[in-house]
A = this chain, B = another copy of it.
Amino acid sequence: MPAKDHIFKRFDEELTELAGQIAEMGGMAEKMVADSILALVRMDTVLAQKIIGSDGRVDRLEKEVEEKAVLMIAQRQPMANDLREIMAAMKISADLERVGDLAKNISKRVIAINSPFAAKKLVIGVEHLSEIALDQLKNVLDAYSARDAAGAAAVRQRDDEIDALYTSLFRELLTYMMEDPRNITFCTHLLFVAKNIERIGDHATNIAETVQYLVTGEQPTDNRPKSDMSSLTNVEFKGDK
């Protein structure tokens, strides 16, 4: 085949490899999140340790994606669509790296809690929150693979649900702490776990925006719904007197 076609073919292969690395990172990040919640629900500190140990692989993959992306831009000098592909891969890998970090942080808190005292009811709330976040993560990675702008838009819309649930969980945890000071340490860790899950939802939303940009060539400009009111939450203390 002509030399030019050969160069194009090699470039396409590199793009496919890059997308493959994103898919691999996505799978790893999803698993880390799912496992960290499992570790929390079962108070499984061995699993938690395993997750903490696996975060390095996600970090290394991000660095690899970034290095490969910069090299591709420098060597191939891609235009328009191809450049967008590469930029999108870099952005998505940065979000996935943060998702891995958040799962690692949840795992560290499981080790800190390490007590069967965990109130089942509250953990269920956190578990439910994580199910939606994982769903969002899965859907947005599917949208990336399929270059599906509508799928990505749906993920952005649904972030609202996570935020609203997080706010109500925040309120519930505060109330629980006030009822019995012995719950404070445990509930504080759960508060941060819930916050981490809410942040994982935010990263799914970021990725959704990147997918929309990748497919349409434009940054979405409509404002995303916002229902995380937890930072505005003030639960009045009703005990004692």
Contacts from A to B (Cβ < 8 Å)? 63, 67, 70, 73-74, 77, 79-80, 83-84, 87, 94, 105, 108-109, 111-114, 174, 177-178, 181-182, 184-185, 188-189, 191-192, 195, 219, 231-237, 239-240
Bound Cα distance from A70 to B81, whole angstroms: 11
New A-B contacts (10) at CB < 8 Å, excluding given A94-B94, A174-B185, A188-B188? A63-B219, A74-B79, A74-B83, A108-B232, A177-B177, A177-B184, A178-B181, A181-B237, A181-B239, A182-B240
20 pairs from A and B in contact (CB 8 Å cutoff): A67-B219, A70-B87, A73-B73, A73-B83, A74-B79, A77-B77, A94-B94, A108-B231, A109-B231, A112-B232, A177-B184, A178-B181, A181-B239, A184-B184, A184-B235, A184-B237, A185-B234, A185-B235, A188-B188, A192-B231
A8 to chain B, nearest CB (A): 17
Cβ contacts under 8 Å, A109 to chain B: 231
Partner of A188, one of B79, B112, B191, B240: B191
Cβ contacts under 8 Å, A181 to chain B: 177-178, 181, 237, 239-240
Bound Cα distance from A178 to B114, whole angstroms: 19
A51 to chain B, nearest CB (A): 13
Cβ contacts under 8 Å, A112 to chain B: 231-234
A153 to chain B, nearest CB (A): 18
Residue in chain B with minimal CB distance to A80: B74
Residue in chain B with minimal CB distance to A193: B231
Bound Cα distance from A86 to B182, whole angstroms: 52
Partner of A174, one of B67, B77, B87, B184: B184
Partner of A185, one of B77, B83, B94, B236: B236
Most buried by B among A83, A174, A185: A185
Bound Cα distance from A77 to B237, whole angstroms: 61
Bound Cα distance from A105 to B230, whole angstroms: 10
Cβ contacts under 8 Å, A240 to chain B: 181-182
Residue in chain B with minimal CB distance to A67: B219
Bound Cα distance from A181 to B113, whole angstroms: 20
Most buried by B among A80, A112, A174, A236: A112
